[in-house]
Chains A and B, each alone.
Chain A
């Protein structure tokens, strides 16, 4: 029996699913080794009773989201959080930090029956076995996890700052141009893709575990006011990860 692979999305932009679809032929090849299920973008049948590996993208905003997540957890052997919405909360988590202004009544004239819970990483609701990082994810990381599970050979993600990947590619250092780049504090693996486009890093892969937060903060505050510093950390919802010693490691158990 081929292992059953599911990809499920909660509330999000579904960009990570497209990152997977964009693998094109390499994605189709995955069908040789897996039964692909509940990938709602291309297939239209209900999922089976048991899964071997499920990727969950998005964050829980509606009560159905939480139910789906808990139901899937019971059905599957491995559950991976896919993309920053699942691992940290993503852009929709910004509202957590500004409850006073981010109220549905400002977007909807008469907000009726809208579920608007705080956005939290999925690991706050269920046990997760690993993470695929990024906003959006790199399709390669997804493939790697799939084949590792298949081979029962679980690698450990090395934590290296974005700066490392940026500098080996000889991109211009934005910090040296006085732009508030979070690369020095952020988990790499992204091939510094934002930096290739000149966009300062916004820590979509989370912050380093052994970060010297005070030094990092000082370096950014030399460039922008403190309010902006915290705003940047809020972008993908990593603000509550910094300044604490224990940050979840994106490792497979």
Chain B
């Protein structure tokens, strides 16, 4: 019996700590395990007994790279529980915030965490030396995302300005106006970057799987939508938990479908499902790349993210146009809190709420139950990484035999590359 064990103690350049162990016995993969190395923080339990407003503030701390998505999903779930309907203006601002999050997270992952893999650059700061222009462009795009979050949420990591029913404080309108003037320039940067990524040499890989993403009839779903899968699943947020089952491996409650299938979530899944609804420039980049959709090559998740950056910037431009009335109100109304009248008033009542959002890495789900005093009595969070982690292992099982003949360093590099392509967030998965 010939046994080859592959062990990677620490997969770097991903969010959180994780390792990998694989066994190949006589050419067959006997084991491919993605090992999580982070402690449990028990978010769902620490929320119990606390006020419903705390849900967003505390769950944002699940993840430092995508706090906005937890913040918004928690708000949405609580608003669902209280039966709150938001006004159009508030939704526009929240959507903009969400776009900022995706732009920020994707540009970090694609450029600063993944690109080095394609050029064998160990230290990503060498990227800055090798590609000074691209680095500047990537930094500009990422800064734009960050500033968008800052302008609306009043802090780029762990925003503060939003509350149940609307906003605590109005956004920094001057900053938003400035950003709306700069956006064309940033779109150009993002388009060039995406074209650059379309020309990279992605490793060959194919494994048919089930993609999962929110969808909307008229737009590329991010802030809201209904969950569908390429396997025909269609499920409302309130029934999501009934359609899946969770099993604990290490510290993660991993997700599988009822038919024991694994799901792929994230940029590639969204593009595969919703590509027809992308904005024009994003669509044309995708077309130029000549990728056949649906794509089953996970490595293209990186390229898909760059396409999404372009889409999100175009979408932000559209939404800025929708903000003009808000800007006008702000100008006319010199007083501090002009946004107050757009907030929805509500009464606290007992109820259960569900919400889903397309986070940078895939579909995120929050649910809360609150009692008549507004205290949280139940909470559950299912993160994108918990959804796709089983799929990642299935991919690795198919991929490993291809790597048998490589040197161990090269093999390790390729395995890490596949893991990184998923953009896993370990801190999210263990929450």
A62 at the interface (CB under 8 A from B): yes
B194 within 8 A of A: no
Nearest-Cβ distance from residue A132 to partner chain B, whole angstroms: 14
B324, CB-defined interface residue at 8 Å: no
The distance from the CB of B210 to the nearest CB of chain A, in whole angstroms, is 24
Question: For residue A24, which residues in chain B have a CB less than 8 angstroms away from its CB?
Answer: 139, 142-143
Q: Is the CB of B40 within 8 A of A40?
A: no
Q: Which of the residues A25, A41, A62, A197 comes within 8 Å of B155, measured between beta carbons? A: A197
Cβ < 8 Å to B, chain A residues 183-216: 193-194, 196-199, 202
In the bound assembly, the distance between CA atoms of A92 and B62 in angstroms comes to 10
Inter-chain CA distance A109–B46, complex, in Å, is 17
Bound-state CA distance A94–B57 (Å) is 13
Task: Give, as a whole number of angstroms, the nearest-CB distance from B198 to chain A.
Answer: 24
| Complex: A4 Cα to B161 Cα, angstroms | 38
What residues of B have a CB within 8 angstroms of the CB of A202 in the complex? 57
- Complex Cα spacing A61 to B155, Å: 27
**B168 x A199 contact (CB < 8 A):** yes
Instruction: Tell me the B7-31 residues at the A interface (CB within 8 Å).
Output: 10, 12-13, 15-17
Report whether over half of chain A's contact residues are helix, strand or loop; otherwise say mixed.
Answer: loop
- Are A16 and B64 in contact, CB atoms less than 8 angstroms apart? yes
CA gap between A103 and B155 in the complex, in Å: 32
A40: chain B residues at CB < 8 Å are: 10, 12-13, 17
Is A17 located at the chain interface by the 8 A CB criterion? Answer: yes
Do A41 and B113 have beta carbons less than 8 Å apart? yes
> Could you tell me which residues of chain B, from 27 to 62, have a CB within 8 Å of some CB in chain A?
37-46, 48-51, 54, 57-58, 61-62
Name the residue of chain B whose CB is nearest to the CB of A62: B39
How far does the Cβ of B374 sit from chain A's closest Cβ, in whole Å? Answer: 11
A235 adjacent to B248 (CB under 8 Å)? no
B131 to chain A, nearest CB (A): 13
CB distance from A202 to the nearest CB of B (A): 8
Q: Is the CB of A197 within 8 A of B168?
A: yes
**Listed stretches A112-120, A145-153, A158-166; interface member:** A112-120
Stretch at the interface among A6-14, A121-129, A240-248: A6-14
Residue A168 CB within 8 A of the other chain:
no
A1: Cβ under 8 A from any B Cβ: no
Interface contacts (Cβ under 8 Å), in number, total: 174
CB contacts (< 8 Å) of B15 on chain A: these are: 14, 41
What's the interface size class on A, roughly? 35 or more
Binds A, one of B121-129, B272-280, B386-394: B121-129
Contact of B124 among A43, A60, A112 (CB under 8 A): A43
Whole-angstrom CA separation of A103 from B122 in the bound complex? 41
Q: Are A91 and B46 neighbours in the complex by a CB distance under 8 Å?
A: yes
A24 to B246, CA, bound (A): 39
Q: How far is the CB of A198 from chain B (nearest CB, A)?
A: 3
Q: Within the assembled complex, what's the spacing in Å between the Cα atoms of A205 and B45?
A: 24
Tell me if B155 and A95 are in contact (CB < 8 A).
no
Contacts of B108 in A (CB 8 A): 21
Contact of B306 with A by CB under 8 A: no
Q: Give the residues from 23 to 75 in chain A that come closer than 8 angstroms, CB to CB, to chain B.
A: 24-25, 28, 31, 36, 40-45, 60-62, 64-65
Q: Which of B62, B154, B156 contacts A13 (CB 8 A)?
A: B62
Contact A194–B160 (Cβ < 8 Å): yes
Q: Is the CB of A108 within 8 A of B61?
A: no
A13 proximity list for chain B (CB < 8 A): 61-64, 67, 427
**Hey, which chain B residues are within 8 Å of A77, CB to CB?**
none
Tell me whether B169 is interfacial, beta carbon within 8 Å. yes
Report if B157 contacts A (CB, 8 A). yes
Q: How far is the CB of B114 from chain A (nearest CB, A)?
A: 12
Option from B57, B65, B163 in Cβ contact (under 8 Å) with A18: B65
B253 touches A (CB below 8 Å): yes
Tell me the minimal C-beta distance from A69 to chain B in angstroms.
12
Tell me, in angstroms, the Cα distance from A92 to B251 when the chains sit together. Answer: 15
Chain B residues with Cβ under 8 A from A136's Cβ? 64, 157-158
Query: Of all chain B residues, which has the CB nearest A202?
Result: B57
CB distance from B194 to the nearest CB of A (A): 21
Contact B156 A22 (CB under 8 A): yes
Q: Does A169 contact B (CB under 8 A)?
A: no
Q: Chain B interface (Cβ within 8 Å of chain A)?
A: 10, 12-13, 15-17, 37-46, 48-51, 54, 57-58, 61-65, 67, 108, 112-113, 122-125, 128, 139, 142-143, 146, 153-161, 163, 167-169, 246, 248, 251, 253, 336, 427
Q: List 6 A-B contacts (CB under 8 A).
A: A28-B128, A41-B15, A42-B112, A111-B248, A114-B40, A115-B40
- 7 tightest Cβ-Cβ pairs between the two chains A and B: A61-B39, A15-B64, A198-B168, A197-B160, A197-B154, A197-B161, A11-B39
